[in-house]
Amino acid sequence: MTVFNRPDATHDPKVRSWLPSANLTGCAFPIQNLPFGVFRRAHGAEPFRGGVAIGDQILDLAALADANLFLSDAAQGIRAGSLPSLNSLMQLGPHIWGALRRALFEALAQGSALEGALRACLVPQEDAVFSLPAQIGDYTDFYISIYHATAIGRQFRPDNPLLPNYKWIPIGYHGRSSSIGVSGQSFPRPQGQRPGATGPTVGPSTRLDYELEVGIFIGAGNPLGAAIPLADAENHIFGLCLLNDWSARDLQGWEYQPLGPFLAKNFATTISPWVVTLQALAPFRAPFNRPQDDPQPLPYLDSKSNREAGAIDIRLEALIQTARMHARQEPPQRLSETSFRHAYWTISQLVAHHTVNGCNLRPGDLFGSGTQSGPTPAEAGSLVELSKGGSQPLQIGQDEQRSFLEDGDTVIFRGRCERPGAVTIGFGELRGCVLPALNPSREL
């Protein structure tokens, strides 16, 4: 395991920023966080560029690069982060990421001599619009919640819910990167083949769902043919975000055998705008434990350090706001809450397994964790679980029910990390909205 799981001076809970909003209780972006994103002001024709969230502001890395306040490794990181995507920063690796984090932490701390210069580089988050943090060349979606896999398997295969390979390898499939959007994404209801009484029909999905996931951005890549060992895996991970892999369950049930997801999942995936670095997550690492009766990971997926601190305790929350709730100005309703620490595989194991065959990863590649569900029914990360396959609709708001998503529904994800002795950090929000199908027809 790398040094990412070891807290250092940048996690000191006593340190406060000279920016008051970063010190407020409940702030997602205190000085101990410093996540990266890509933004521009909402009005005007400014180019997108990298920024760092602090309090209710964004530290503009392009303006910071022009100010020429930093030297050496930190300056290199700022220049790379000032571009319209974070790929160049991602490929520089953990040495530069760490130097940049330390430099920004010191410059944003109370008493910094650079306060005046950095204040000139701030942009209010409420004035910004966001782009994808990186140019995503490839997207792999995994399936690493055993609770979700068992619940879904039970609906499709009641007598054999969990296939025998699940406990031996991190299951994944190659997704579609072209339809990944940033928070605020709206998309038309997908259409495709669905099973029918006398044969398949074609039309809009009637069982549209969300999937509460964590996204993992790859930093430095690896040459084709060269596997990344487990001990080195986190040197290749830039950071984590929230991810919603929208799913059409009726299309999925018809098409998933024998090769797995296709049209049921490639129409839209939404991620949060801020990427929280592994350094920021260091205080929230947790032991990775397997039940004694389960197969233990094969040697290339196992290590003492991965067992000691391979998991990450990220609290994940899913909420819904229907069109009717929005019109009545009613707040979103929580659907479920769980933790990423329940995942059956760690992020290091995903990287090691993805490359064991020689597959080459590249900066900006994205992994999805698969739906994150916990051990209790209230911790389910999808409607298909919460509604028991649609048989038990959920009460929503004053006068609505949902088994699956309807047009106009907005789904919201939130994430945070907290523990005694550490400053709570957040991931911000992920929002996505379902629009009516384009030119819907019963038979296309």
Residue 395 lies in a domain: yes
Q: Is residue 178 part of a domain?
A: yes
Question: What's the DSSP call for residue 340?
Answer: G
Shared domain for 100 and 42, answered yes or no, is yes
The answer on 204 and 259 residing in a single domain is yes
Contact 324, 335 (CB under 8 A): no
The contacts of residue 402 (CB under 8 Å, 6+ apart) are: 320, 322, 383, 387, 393, 394, 396, 409
**Which one of 113, 131, 149 terminates a domain?**
131
Closest CA to 223 of 353, 358, 398, 72: 358
Q: Please report, for the domain that includes residue 327, its CATH number.
A: 3.90.850.10
The residue among 86, 129, 403, 112 whose CA lies nearest residue 276 is 86
Whole-angstrom distance, CA of residue 209 vs CA of residue 213:
13
**Pair 53, 19: CB distance under 8 Å:** no
pLDDT score recorded for residue 398: 86
Q: Are 262 and 321 contained in the same domain?
A: yes
4 pLDDT more than 80: no
Q: Which residues does residue 177 pair with via DSSP β-bridges, in sequence order?
A: none
Q: Are residues 143 and 111 in the same domain?
A: no
Q: Mean pLDDT, to the nearest integer, of 413-437?
A: 97
What number is the average pLDDT over the span 239-264? 92
Please state, rounded to an integer, the average pLDDT across all residues of the chain: 95
Same domain membership, residue 197 and residue 111: no
Residues 84 and 210 in one domain: no
- Residue 432 in 3-state DSSP? strand
Of 131, 154, 183, the position where a domain reaches its end is 131
Annotated catalytic sites, by residue? 148
Closest by Cα among 33, 64, 36 to 133: 36
Average pLDDT over residues 424-440: 95
Q: Which residues of 268-288 are buried (b: 16+ CB within 10 A; e: fewer)?
A: bbbbbbbbbbbbbbbbbbbeb
The counts of H helices and E strands in the chain are 11, 26
- Does 281 reside within a domain? yes
Q: Is 442 a member of any domain?
A: no
Within a domain: residue 202? Answer: yes
Report which of 134, 111, 148 is spatially closest to residue 18, judged by C-alpha positions: 111
Q: Look at residue 442 in the predicted model and tell me its pLDDT.
A: 53
- Exposed (0-12), middle (13-18) or buried (19+): which is 253, by Cβ within 10 Å? middle
Using one digit for the tens of pLDDT, what is the confidence trace for 309-363?
Answer: 999 999 999 999 999 999 999 999 999 999 999 999 999 999 999 999 999 999 9
pLDDT for the residue 158: 84
- 172-216: pLDDT as tens digits: 999 999 999 999 999 999 999 988 888 899 999 999 999 999 999
Counted domains in the chain:
2
Same domain, 60 and 161: no
Q: Identify whether residues 115 and 192 lie together within a single domain.
A: no
Question: 305 in helix, strand or coil?
Answer: helix
Average pLDDT over residues 281-291: 95
Residue where a domain stops, chosen among 131, 166, 194: 131
444 domain-assigned: no
**Torsion (CA) 256, 135, 119, 280 in degrees, nearest 10:** 50
Q: CATH no. for residue 99?
A: 2.30.30.230
Cα 185 to Cα 319: distance, rounded to the nearest angstrom: 16
Does the pLDDT at position 427 exceed 50?
yes
Do 306 and 337 touch, CB atoms closer than 8 A? Answer: no
Please state which of the ranges 5-9, 265-269, 305-309 shows the lowest mean pLDDT. 5-9
Do 386 and 267 reside in the same domain of the chain? yes
Could you tell me the residue range of the domain that residue 107 belongs to? 3-131
Same domain, 284 and 352: yes
**pLDDT exceeding 90 applies to what percent of the chain?**
89
Residue 389 falls within a domain, yes or no? yes
Task: Say whether both 159 and 125 belong to one domain.
Answer: no
CB-CB contact of 414 with 426 (8 Å): yes
pLDDT in tens, 45-60: 899 999 999 999 999 9
How far is 323 from 351, CA to CA, in rounded Å? Answer: 40
Is 443 among the domain residues?
no
- Structure tokens given for 398: 């004053």
Q: Would you say residue 1 has pLDDT above 50? A: no
Shared domain check, 176 and 127? no
Residue 78: phi and psi, rounded to 5, are -65, -45
State the DSSP H helix or E strand holding residue 105, giving kind and residue range, or none if neither: helix 94-108
